[in-house]
Chains A and B, each alone.
Chain A
C-alpha cells in the first residue's frame, strides 16, 4: 500500500513526453479530475503529447508512453492481461485514486461472496466474468507512484504530473488530514462538536474539505503514514459509535487497504 518513493525518470533526447490515461474498474471520477484541470490541462497538453485518453478523445496512439495514469482496480480476467500490457508500454506508471490504489468501493466484495452478488443482480450470472476480489494495480505490476483519493485532488494531480515531467519526486505528504485541517484553520469537529472524524488516521490531500464544512472525515484518501486506529476507535466509541458503525466507516473506498482492513477488524468486524 505504501506509495513507492520515486525520483521519476524523464524521457531522453528532448522529445515531447507522451502521456496515456487508462481505465479499469472505476467510476471515471479521477479521469474527470484531470479534465477538470481546465487551464493547466492546456499547458499540459502543450508540454506532453496526450497519446491515449479515451475519456477525452478517441486518440489511441501506440506505445510506449513516458507517463501512464491508471484509474480503476483489477476485477476481471481481462484486466489482468491489460494491466501487464500497460506496464510493458509505460516508462512510469502512476495509479490515480482509491480504486487503482486500494481496490476501491468495489473491494467490498472481498468481504462477501461475489457469486452471490452476481446471482442477485444479473439474470444470467454465468456471463459475468468477475474475479473473486477487487485488487489494486500494485498487486499485479510494479507501480511508480500511487496518488490517493476518491476522487483524487486536482492540485495533487498537477503536482504529480509536474513532478514526473521535471524528473523530481512528487510532494504528496503522507501525514494525517489533521495537519491540513489546522493549516486551514478549521475547527476540529471531534473536539468542538463531538462529531466522529477519520482525519487522524487518514492521509492528507483533500485540504480537510469535510471538517472545514463541519463534517467528520470519511477517509477518502486512505490510511495515513502511521495510523493508530485502535486509539481512534476507542475515542469514536466514546463519541457514541457502535461496533457496526465503526466497521462501516472503514469499509468504504479504501476498505481493502491493509490498515483500514485491520482497523475494521480491530473495531470488531
Chain B
C-alpha cells in the first residue's frame, strides 16, 4: 500500500478507541517513559527526550535542562510545556511489548475443592502505540519461543493476537542502542500493523500499513498521499538514526567465540561487578523465563498456580536436587550472555538479542554486554 501522511495522531487514537481497543502509548511517569493507557494525543510525551548510558537514564526537555529527580515527580501529558513538538523523540523505554505479551505474573489454573479450573484466556484488545523496531524484532523472537515448536503457548497466542502494533521509526537512538549492528532497526520493516515516521517542520507522520488490519485502520483516518518530499524526509530519519547508534556488536563469528569462552577468566572479573540482581533479564524484551508460584487462599480454600518472571540470575532458577547448579555469579553471568548470543541460536535459529540496549541502561552497576562481548 502507498504511504500516507497523518497530520495528527488524534484521529488515530479516537478511531482505535471507537473500534474497542484500549490504546496504550508512551507517557512520562516517575521520570521515565512508560506505556500507559492514553485517551488523547495530548497524553504523549511531547518535547521530551532521553539520555541513556550504562547504568544511567535521564529524561529531559528536548531543548533545556535535565528535568528529573525522585522528588519532582513527572506527570503524564504535560505537553504544553514542551519546547519540541516531537512525541517520539527518545529511544527504548524500560517497558517493552513484553509486559503485554508475556506479563510479569499470570494465573495458570485454580483448584477449587480439588477440581482444577483453567484460567480464562480472553485477552482484551490493546493497541500499542510507539513500538520501536527493536521491539518488533523482539516480538518475532518471542513468537518463535512461545509459538514455535511442539508446545505452543495458547495464552501467549491470545494476548499476541489481541495486540495491534503501531510502530515508530527511531529518529534519536539512545546511547546504548545497537539495533543497526543486530539488523533489527532503527527503521520498522515488518511485524507491525502500522508504522509511523515522525517528521517535523511541519509536524506530521508518514504512515505505512503492514497488515490488512493496519490498512483498514489507515483507510478510516483523514490522510493525504505522501509526497516525494515526505518520503525523502522519512528516509533521512532512518539514515541519520543509523549513524547515531551509541553501541555496536560485531556479529562475525560471535556465536562460536562466545561458546568457546566457556572457561574464560573474564566471567569471574565480570561477576565481581555484577550484582546478580536480574534487572538485565527483566528488562530484556526477549527473556522469557518464568517460575511457578503455588499459593493457597486461606479465606476461600482455593489453591492457584501462577507463572511469574524469573531469571537465570536467581539461585532458585537452577536449583536441582536442593542446590543451585549455577551457584557462582560468574556461572550466572555466563549463562545470560551465552544464551543471548550463542545457545539461543542453537535453540531458536537466531540471536536472543535485538540490540535495544535496555540491559545496559538498566543495569544498576552499568555492565555493558557490548563491552563484555568485545573482551571475550
Q: Residues of A with Cβ closer than 8 Å to B? A: 5, 39-40, 43-44, 47, 158-159, 161-163, 166, 168, 171, 173-176, 178-179, 182-195, 197, 199-201, 214-215, 225-228, 230-232, 234-235
Complex Cα distance, B272 from A79, in Å, reads 41
B6-45, CB < 8 A from A: 29-32, 34
> Which residue of chain A has the shortest Cβ distance to B309 in the bound complex?
A183
> Which residue of chain A has the shortest Cβ distance to B55 in the bound complex?
A191
Taking a contact as CB atoms closer than 8 A, the residue among A176, A193, A199 that contacts B70 in the complex is: A193
Q: Is B200 an interface residue (CB 8 A)?
A: no
Q: Is the CB of A191 within 8 A of B56?
A: yes
List of B residues within 8 angstroms of A200 by Cβ = 275, 277, 279, 364
Q: Is the CB of B365 within 8 A of A232?
A: yes
Complex Cα distance, B72 from A127, in Å, reads 51
Most chain B CB within 10 A, of A173, A182, A197, A230, is at: A182
Q: Is B187 an interface residue (CB 8 A)?
A: no
List of A residues within 8 angstroms of B315 by Cβ = 174-175, 225-226
Taking a contact as CB atoms closer than 8 A, the residue among B58, B276, B296 that contacts A192 in the complex is: B58
List of B residues within 8 angstroms of A235 by Cβ = 55, 364-366
Complex Cα distance, B59 from A201, in Å, reads 27
State whether A182 and B298 are in contact (beta carbons under 8 Å apart), knowing that A173-B314, A174-B315, A193-B31 are contacts in the complex: no
Majority SS of interface residues in chain A? helix
Complex Cα distance, B154 from A120, in Å, reads 68
Q: Is the CB of B32 within 8 A of A231?
A: no
Count class of interface residues, chain B = 35 or more
> Which residue of chain A has the shortest Cβ distance to B53 in the bound complex?
A191
Q: Is B57 an interface residue (CB 8 A)?
A: yes
Q: Is the CB of B70 within 8 A of A214?
A: yes
Complex Cα distance, B279 from A188, in Å, reads 9
Complex Cα distance, B271 from A173, in Å, reads 22
B41-65, CB < 8 A from A: 55-59
List of A residues within 8 angstroms of B362 by Cβ = 188, 191
15 sample A-B contacts, Cβ–Cβ < 8 Å, listed by A number: A40-B298, A174-B316, A179-B309, A179-B311, A183-B105, A184-B104, A188-B57, A188-B364, A192-B32, A193-B69, A193-B70, A194-B56, A214-B71, A232-B275, A232-B365
Q: Is the CB of A189 within 8 A of B70?
A: yes
Complex Cα distance, B344 from A158, in Å, reads 39
From residue B251, how far is it (CB to closest CB) to chain A in Å? Answer: 27
From residue A42, how far is it (CB to closest CB) to chain B in Å? Answer: 8
Q: Is B293 an interface residue (CB 8 A)?
A: yes
Complex Cα distance, B94 from A189, in Å, reads 12
From residue B308, how far is it (CB to closest CB) to chain A in Å? Answer: 7
Complex Cα distance, B366 from A232, in Å, reads 11
Complex Cα distance, B73 from A47, in Å, reads 46
From residue B189, how far is it (CB to closest CB) to chain A in Å? Answer: 29
List of B residues within 8 angstroms of A171 by Cβ = 293-295
Most chain B CB within 10 A, of A40, A47, A162, A231, is at: A231
List of A residues within 8 angstroms of B59 by Cβ = 192
Complex Cα distance, B290 from A173, in Å, reads 13
Q: Is the CB of B316 within 8 A of A39?
A: no
From residue A124, how far is it (CB to closest CB) to chain B in Å? Answer: 47
Taking a contact as CB atoms closer than 8 A, the residue among A178, A185, A189 that contacts B277 in the complex is: A178
Complex Cα distance, B293 from A163, in Å, reads 12
> Which residue of chain A has the shortest Cβ distance to B327 in the bound complex?
A226
